[in-house]
Amino acid sequence: MWTLTKKFSFEASHQLTHHDGPCARLHGHSYHGHVEVRGDHLQGSGPKLGMVLDYGDISKVLKPAIAALDHQHLNDILDTNGPTAEVIAKWLFEVLAPNIPGLSAVVIEETDSSSCRYTSE
């Protein structure tokens, strides 16, 4: 079994209106993360020979999804008063899954020390 990883980053603001700490105030993050794609076989022929999935094919699907979040207010984009890392990871997984075969996880890093991993399991 192979696991591929494709990294991404975006800048966005959010506000956790029901939070009992400083995250209740409007603030922003430089989000980082990655998608994980799992596969148990390699392409046997053609231009993708020896690949589970071409990183370029992952990027073609990932870039527009990240562009929809970049430099946006996530409360508006995700239509919630609580766009936590958990909500962002699940939203991104659901957007990407139909077009990335073998997508197994999305990881969102909100800070250098805090991250969330969402899987379909």
Q: Which residues does the annotation mark as catalytic?
A: 23, 71, 110
What separation, in Å, do the N-terminal and C-terminal C-alpha atoms of the chain show?
A: 17
Please, which contacts does 88-95 make with residues 24 or more away whose CB atoms are closer than 8 Å? 88/31, 88/116, 89/33, 89/116, 89/117, 89/118, 90/118, 92/33, 92/35, 92/65, 92/118, 93/118, 93/119, 93/120, 95/65
